[in-house]
Amino acid sequence: MTEATLYARVNEEVLQSLDPPTRRYWMVIAGLAAVFGLGVAAYTYQLFMGMGVAGIGHPVGWGVYIVNFVFWVGIAHSGTLISAVLYLFRVRWRTAIYRAAEAMTVFAVMTAGLFPLIHLGRVWVMLWMIPIPNARHLWPNFKSPLMWDVVAVSTYFTVSSLFFYLGLIPDIAAVRDRSTGIRRTVYGILSLGWQNRYEQWRHYARAYVAFACLATPLVISVHSVVSWDFAMSVLPGWHTTIFPPYFVAGAIHSGLAMVITLLIPIRKWLRLERLVTLKHFEGMAQMLVFMGLIMTYSYGTEAFAAWYSGNKFEHQFSAWRAFGPLGPLFWGMVFCNCVVPMVFFFKRARTNLTVLMVGSLLVNVGMYLERFVLIITSTAHDFLPTAWGSYAPTIVELTITVAAFAWFFMLFLLFAKHLPAVAIMEMKEQALGATHGGNGHG
């Protein structure tokens, strides 16, 4: 097969996924938009009634809103891992899946960013976090981990959006060149007049590598900063040095699971089976095993330190977390995050899409439980028995939580049908490399 034929085939296979969507697609989008609308209504209700309609109070001041924030930031991380870190290590199987993973990153950070604002209550005071001259002469306290978080997450959103868009430019140009009418105009604007000229490629290649090099330490720093929201406090269960690497590992674990969960149906729906193959899923499942082992080690280290240190606060807290009223959630988290991924030690499980789908869904559930257990239990059961309490989310919090999932899936579905979900240019390079030994991107 000639080089040109190979390129034409890749072009055709990816671009056919952008054929006009069916009525069923728009009905699904409408359904997700309706659920999101319910969330907006619940939030509006909270805005008018006050934070009393949420279940948070004393002693649990951080409820599912913060759980959702940490969960969605975590989901975002593996997108950058797949697009930047695996790119720098020249991992070939990333090519077919990194675009979807990057889109997931951007949408997950957008979702995550909503929750600190929802949790604020009086959302208009968010302006106080921006260092601008003001009549009160109040300035942000940059010594607080919460302000580090504002800087880190907003940086992460900006960088991951730019990285996502940068990768898309040549592919949007390919869509533009096959489109007509209004679609051609819109894709023409989005492609920034890209012409595939050498003069553009030589700068593009350098910029792409620079972005990958910058995004790699960023992804590690952002979840470390998120973990410091907890670890910089003195609460039992939170005040531990293992949190930054443990949070980074957890983020990658949950994000990988979400990529698998999204890609299995998308691949079938967009007829991308020839580009996104079982080999790609196998690579992700192997990484899931690796991250599952790191998670198991982290949980074990936490429990061991609590027991062997002799710190009675840590000790009683650890025992309560595992065997108290929230114990089933703790053991559910251990099962989903540590036991389930071990199934993928077996090749038959790694190459079976049903097992992969069930396994990745369970890891998603496990990671949500982990965020819940981690955030709720420490504030519910700290030093003084007289200050102990409990927490259960209200219907308002649950509605907003479900709406966040609808919002995320709606954005992802809109992306999958309107922008190339597989990187056309890099797939061409990879296809050529497979047949002619080409040297690949960058």
Which residues of the shown chain bind another protein in the complex (CB under 8 A)? Answer: 2-5, 7-8, 11, 131, 137-144, 147-148, 151-152, 155, 158-159, 162-163, 166, 169-170, 173-174, 176-178, 188-190, 192-207, 210-211, 214-215, 217-218, 221, 225, 425, 428-429, 432, 438-439, 441-442
- Whether the CB-CB separation of 175 and 187 falls below 8 Å is answered with yes
Token pair, residue 257, equals: 């699971």
CA proximity to 311, closest of 382, 404, 230: 382
Tell the smallest beta-carbon distance from residue 111 to another protein (Å). Answer: 20
Nearer to another protein among residue 218 and residue 326 (C-beta): 218
| Cβ neighbours of residue 90 closer than 8 Å, sequence gap 6 or more | 440
- Whether the CB-CB separation of 283 and 256 falls below 8 Å is answered with no
Conformation bin of residue 423: beta by default, left when phi > 0, alpha when psi is -120 to 50: beta
Tell the smallest beta-carbon distance from residue 57 to another protein (Å). Answer: 24
Nearer to another protein among residue 10 and residue 258 (C-beta): 10
Nearer to another protein among residue 22 and residue 196 (C-beta): 196
Tell the smallest beta-carbon distance from residue 133 to another protein (Å). Answer: 9
Tell the smallest beta-carbon distance from residue 321 to another protein (Å). Answer: 27
Nearer to another protein among residue 177 and residue 282 (C-beta): 177
* Residue 134: burial class (beta carbons within 10 Å; 0-12, 13-18, 19+): exposed
Nearer to another protein among residue 152 and residue 400 (C-beta): 152
Tell the smallest beta-carbon distance from residue 174 to another protein (Å). Answer: 4
Token pair, residue 182, equals: 């209004």
| Secondary structure (DSSP) of 396-429 | HHHHHHHHHHHHHHHHHHHHHHHS-SS-HHHHHH
The CA–CA distances, whole Å, from 165 to 52, 89, 340, 375 equal: 41, 21, 35, 34
Tell the smallest beta-carbon distance from residue 226 to another protein (Å). Answer: 12
Nearer to another protein among residue 241 and residue 386 (C-beta): 241
